[in-house]
A and B are shown apart, each in its own frame.
Chain A
């Protein structure tokens, strides 16, 4: 059996998944644990669907296989559904309840499932929906959605709140430490009810 705790973070290029994965990696270093990760770079980031794999206590390759992730953090509702098959049975799903409609829907007039339909499909998992944008604004910046989502996931991760918060404070730009600290804490509180 696998020995690592596997986290898949998905979203849209530009939403800050890379910073979020760096924060998780830094938290592992703080706890002196091995970690492996892999992420989307290059042109695929241009508004495209992106994924970050993080394997806490991972010693081998960086890739998580479908059906085996312990937790899926979706920065976008539709992307959460797109990658939901990566979750293991009984896995935890923490998803931003908003979605950015892909341009393909407007230009090629493709079908987009309604939000309620997506949520119904995601309810097959242990689902926790987060209104990340509202919380990020409350924290002081809509750009802190990524840290809100990490905060929301934090109580389901095998990392202490202290290590995660210390990692956030080390890695976000110095003038945003207060906003991101608040974003993390508000996200953590919001997820307590689910």
Chain B
């Protein structure tokens, strides 16, 4: 037994080593990414690990591994589960022989996500077990139990930590890792693995027949517990249970839920001991609906009668407000503390030297009246430069553009999409746009890495998750294979060439692709690329503000002139922008 201070995702990765896992796949997504980052970076691995190109592919891979009898983990963020939902729903029918754990990390408050969906709904939808940890220690422990549970019932298990588990830290007691790797073998069984109607009807029935036994086993796992203390009770799920425990008076009963599906009779027995119950959980009222189904005439409080919010994340303070609203006492008084008003915000911004900035700058000038559908990545921050008009989900920029064109939009449509997002689900949109004769420009922001989630490699990088060389895909060849006849590749640091390429393709018919290719400034720095700094000659600077308006965090304004600070990475784009020629490379020291 070892005690360590770990990030939730590190503890989860360690739980996989203890299980032990044989196969790991996933697609990066905050807050899930560090699990595979840890597993792929360990020097000695007795398991296979990959970054897949998207979550559907990742889950299909992991499912097949589990069909072959090995323990498989598949990681993603909650919206990734939408992409993987096709194999998910039917994997419950085919089942697995090796344990299959699908980690879908939810993001209440959408810290870094496009929505606040609740993965527990998917588990209910697919009729598979779901584990919802309340602490990092529990997240670690649950991983091992999830694999065992999956193998016991031949069902995939959904493991659903939230941001405050994945990106929280705590002292965790770890067990020893195991090295005994199973070797997968596929045993042919068409009635199990070929889901033609005749087979799938039987498989569906078998899935439903498993449910009562699953509920019974879940109740025995120990993640759902209660203590009876009084005539009123709070029932809480996941991390919300930790917040409740912090402020719960000694005379209020408490039920903590960490695993689904629930045993109805067990739940009903607890509720019947009380005069009223309050349900506290983040996001959807998944637990509250179950409680209401079995509560009979015991009054139930929660989201559905207005005491708790459906959206956002909870905290001890937020839980106290829910308890106050429902007329429940709590032990801690939270002072009214408002932030200092009107401070200038400090949102995340594109880095100094980021290749995306000159692209958005150029788009706004070449396509003055353009419409800019964009996508999911660091470059969504192009919103701050007025060059992002839509973002909906991974890969949607190109279909949104072609949809607008066919709807009759006559202005120039310019989509922006990153390399990783293009390879995730962007290719199909491009293929469709060409096939159906849209007119638009697609700019692939190719920085050779999946940057936003922490610089994971992808097929453009030339490396696998574990750092072994892999053939780097040619985006040019891929676009041409989709039927695009105009494919131009430019270095976005070369603003003149970038503007010229955009002007050129603007006049052409059909779907045109410009690949703006330059390393992510963070990976370039880590790789040791030093371009040398630039500075402003104060005598030449006219104070025109053109460079300041570019929005680079390395450029400041001081005494009516521009100055360049220590963040400068030497991309030289501002030197090309300056109408007075006042920005020059510093002499190397």
Within 8 Å by CB of B169, from A36, A42, A121, lies A36
Contact status of A41 and B169, CB under 8 A, knowing A22-B5, A28-B5, A102-B344: no
> Does B317 interact with chain A (Cβ within 8 Å)?
yes
Check A43/B348 contact, CB under 8 A, given A29-B5, A61-B243, A67-B334.
yes
The answer to whether A2 and B112 touch across the interface, beta carbons within 8 angstroms, is: no
In the complex, per-residue mask of A91-114: 1 if CB is within 8 Å of any chain B CB, else 0: 000000000011111110011110
* Cα–Cα distance between A46 and B351 once the two chains are bound (Å): 7
- Given A44-B112, A85-B340, A21 contacting B346 (CB threshold 8 A): no
Tell whether, in the assembled complex, residue A42 and residue B171 are in contact, meaning their CB atoms are under 8 Å apart: no
- Chain A residues, CB < 8 A from B342: 111
Whether A39 contacts B169 in the complex (CB less than 8 A), given A46-B351, A63-B243, comes out as yes
B348 to chain A, nearest CB (A): 4
On whether the beta carbons of B316 and A61 are closer than 8 Å, the reply is: yes
Question: Is B527 among interface residues, defined by CB-CB distance under 8 A?
Answer: no
Determine the main DSSP class of A at the interface with B: mixed
A47 touches B164 (CB 8 A): no
Look across to chain B and name the residue whose beta carbon is closest to the beta carbon of A38. Answer: B168
Q: Please report which residues of chain B, range 344-361, place their CB below 8 angstroms from some CB of chain A when the two chains form the complex.
A: 344-351
* Residues on A with beta carbons closer than 8 Å to the beta carbon of B5: 22, 25-26, 28-29, 35, 37
The SS class assigned to the B binding surface is loop
A135 within 8 A of partner (CB)? no
Segment from B215-223, B270-278, B301-309, B549-557 that makes contact with A:
B549-557
Q: How far does the alpha carbon of A83 sit from the alpha carbon of B340 in the complex, in Å? A: 8
Closest-CB distance, B17 to chain A (whole angstroms): 20
> What chain A residues lie within 8 Å of B452 (beta carbons)?
42-43
A49 within 8 A of B: yes
Measured in the bound complex, the distance between the Cα atoms of B378 and A48 in whole Å is: 13
Shortest Cβ distance from residue B42 to the other chain A in the assembled complex, whole angstroms: 19
B159-174, CB under 8 A of A: which get 1 and which 0?
Answer: 0000010011111000
B335 A68 Cβ-Cβ under 8 A: yes
Q: Which of B167, B331, B339, B381 interacts with A41 by CB under 8 Å?
A: B167
A-contact bits for B364-378, CB 8 A (1 contact / 0 none): 000000000000001
A13 within 8 Å of B by Cβ?
Answer: yes
Contact call A65/B317, Cβ cutoff below 8 A? yes
Complex-state Cα separation, A102 to B346, whole angstroms:
6
A190 within 8 A of B: no
Does the CB pair A67–B344 fall under 8 Å?
no
Which residues 238-252 of B sit at the A interface, judged by CB distance below 8 A?
239, 242-243, 245-246
Q: How far is the CB of B477 from chain A (nearest CB, A)?
A: 30
CB nearest neighbor in A for B552: A103
- Rounded to whole Å, the gap between the CB of B546 and the closest CB of chain A is 12
Q: What are the interface flags for B1-42 relative to A under an 8 Å C-beta threshold, 1 for contact and 0 otherwise?
A: 001110000000000000000000000001100100000000
Contact of B315 among A65, A84, A103 (CB under 8 A): A65
Distance from B106 Cβ to chain A, minimum over Cβ atoms (Å)? 14
Q: Which residues of B lie under 8 Å from residue A150 when comparing CB positions?
A: none
The residues of B that contact A28 with a CB separation of less than 8 Å are 5, 171
From 60 to 85 in chain A, residues with beta carbon under 8 angstroms from any chain B beta carbon are: 60-63, 65-68, 78-79, 81-85
Name the residue of chain A whose CB is nearest to the CB of B378: A43
B517 to nearest A CB, angstroms?
21
Cβ B316 vs Cβ A47 within 8 A: no
Partner of B340, one of A58, A84, A104, A112: A84
A41-B31, A65-B334 are contacts. A46–B349 as well, Cβ < 8 Å? yes
Q: Complex: how many Å from CA A45 to CA B452?
A: 10
Contacts of A68 in B (CB 8 A): 334-335
Q: Kindly state the separation between the CA atoms of A89 and B334 in the bound complex, as whole angstroms.
A: 12
Decide if B335 touches A48 in the complex (CB within 8 Å).
no
Known: A47-B351, A60-B242, A65-B316. A104 touches B344 (CB 8 A): yes
- A42 B112 Cβ-Cβ under 8 A: yes
Contacting A106 at CB < 8 Å: which of B168, B346, B381, B556? Answer: B556
A82 and B339 contact, CB distance less than 8 A: yes
Residues of A contacting B315 in the complex (Cβ-Cβ under 8 angstroms): 61, 63, 65
Query: In the complex, what residue of chain A is closest to B522 when comparing beta carbons?
Result: A46
The answer to whether B335 and A89 have CB atoms under 8 Å apart is yes
Residue among B170, B245, B551 with the highest chain A CB neighbour number at 10 A: B170
Residues of B within 8 A of A49 (CB): 345-347
> Which of B239, B337, B347 has the largest count of A CB atoms less than 10 A from its CB?
B337
Task: State how many angstroms separate the Cβ of A165 from the closest Cβ of chain B.
Answer: 16
Task: Confirm or deny: B229 has a beta carbon within 8 angstroms of a beta carbon on chain A.
Answer: no
Q: Which of B3, B168, B334 contacts A62 (CB 8 A)?
A: B168
Contact B378 A60 (CB under 8 A): no
- Report if B338 contacts A (CB, 8 A): yes
Which residues in window 152-205 of B have CB below 8 A to A? 164, 167-171
**24 intermolecular pairs with C-beta atoms under 8 Å apart:** A13-B348, A21-B169, A26-B5, A29-B3, A34-B170, A35-B169, A36-B168, A39-B169, A43-B112, A43-B381, A49-B345, A60-B316, A61-B315, A62-B169, A67-B334, A85-B337, A85-B339, A89-B335, A102-B345, A103-B551, A104-B346, A106-B555, A110-B345, A121-B340
Interface residues in chain B, defined as those with a beta carbon under 8 Å from any beta carbon in chain A = 3-5, 30-31, 34, 111-112, 164, 167-171, 239, 242-243, 245-246, 315-317, 331-332, 334-340, 342-351, 378, 381, 384, 452-454, 548-549, 551-553, 555-557
Known pairs A61-B243, A81-B343; list 17 more (Cβ under 8 Å): A1-B331, A25-B171, A26-B5, A28-B171, A34-B170, A35-B171, A42-B452, A49-B345, A62-B168, A63-B243, A65-B317, A79-B346, A86-B337, A102-B345, A107-B384, A107-B548, A111-B344
